[in-house]
């Protein structure tokens, strides 16, 4: 068995203190294998985004461990943490987080800029990603002037530009109409199947969840269902 890309053990996270303390994750454990597509589903407030932020190393658990490709992520700090996140992960969020008054291409190459890639190479890889998403003709447009579906494709191009091993998508179709949402889903699953990129999708959309290899259901900060055939050690 190859080392799982993510190994999560008894991860807990609370917000606030004292009387205001809220236990958002009450000890979750699972493995994710490279190349899997996994839906994390549950009602609003169940802890999905909290879990995803921890998996994506955007936040730190109160206790428990998360290993990335076999390495304990607690050891990653500062610039090494930023580099790992930037190189290994792509992010597709419901709220697009694009900079509206700069060009589509500039938005897409941001992760490369952060990684210190030189401008000629940035442009080449940015345009390749935009071409893959059918948006090459929009490269010079201001991001603000795109439709919702186009914006989400720009977000996917940006997620792809660093050739990530894993894409995290939090409600990726939540702000899109059904048709456009289906197109965005198709793109994500194509990346998963044809490029072997591990896909972790947070959603409360059952249709989107049913397209994934596996579903992990969260309720009140705990996993109540996991369709993986393998049991975490």
Please tell me whether residue 162 binds Mg ion under the rule CB under 5 A.
no
Output 25 or 133, the one with its CB closest to ligand ADP. Answer: 25
> End-to-end CA distance of the chain, in Å?
13
Closest approach, Cβ 11 to ligand ADP, in A, equals 12
| Chosen from Mg ion, ligand ADP, none, partner binding at 37 (C-beta under 5 to 8 Å by type) | none
111 binds, among Mg ion, ligand ADP, none (CB under 5 to 8 A by kind): none
**Site map 17..56 versus Mg ion, x via CB under 5 A:** --------------------------------x-------
DSSP, res 103: B
CB of 226 to Mg ion, least distance (A): 19
Residue 94: name its binding partner from ligand ADP, Mg ion, none (Cβ under 5 to 8 Å by kind).
Answer: none
- Go through the chain and tell me how many residues it has: 233
Beta pairing, strands 71-72 & 89-93: unpaired
Q: Are 200 and 55 in contact (CB under 8 A)?
A: yes
- In the complex, what is the shortest distance from the CB of residue 119 to ligand ADP, in angstroms, rounded to a whole number? 37
Helix (H, G, I), strand (E, B) or coil at 231: coil
Q: Whole-angstrom Cα distance, residue 138 to residue 6?
A: 36
Taking alpha carbons only, the member of 25, 8, 62 closest to residue 228 is: 8
Residue whose CB is less far from ligand ADP, 21 or 118: 21
């Amino acid at each position: 068995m190859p080392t799982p890309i993510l190994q999560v053990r008894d991860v807990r996270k609370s917000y606030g203190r004292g009387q205001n303390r809220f236990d958002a994750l009450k000890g979750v454990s699972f493995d994710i294998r490279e190349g899997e597509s996994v839906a994390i589903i549950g009602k609003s407030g169940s802890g999905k985004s909290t879990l995803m932020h921890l998996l994506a190393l955007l936040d730190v658990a109160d206790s428990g461990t998360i290993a990335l490709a076999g390495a304990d992520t607690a050891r990653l700090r500062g610039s090494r943490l930023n580099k790992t996140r930037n190189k290994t992960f792509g992010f597709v969020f419901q709220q697009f987080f694009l900079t509206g008054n700069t060009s589509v291409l500039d938005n897409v190459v941001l992760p490369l800029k952060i990684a210190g890639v030189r401008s000629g190479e940035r442009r080449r890889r940015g345009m390749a990603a935009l071409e893959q998403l059918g948006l090459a003709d929009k490269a010079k447009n201001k991001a603000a002037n795109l439709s919702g579906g186009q914006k989400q494709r720009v977000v996917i191009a940006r997620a792809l530009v660093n050739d990530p091993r894993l894409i995290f998508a939090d409600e990726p179709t939540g702000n899109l109409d059904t048709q456009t949402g289906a197109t965005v889903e198709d793109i994500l699953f194509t990346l998963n199947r044809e490029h072997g990129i591990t896909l972790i999708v947070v959603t409360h959309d059952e249709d989107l969840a049913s397209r994934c290899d596996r579903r992990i259901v969260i309720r009140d900060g705990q996993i109540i269902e996991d369709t993986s055939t393998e049991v975490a050690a």
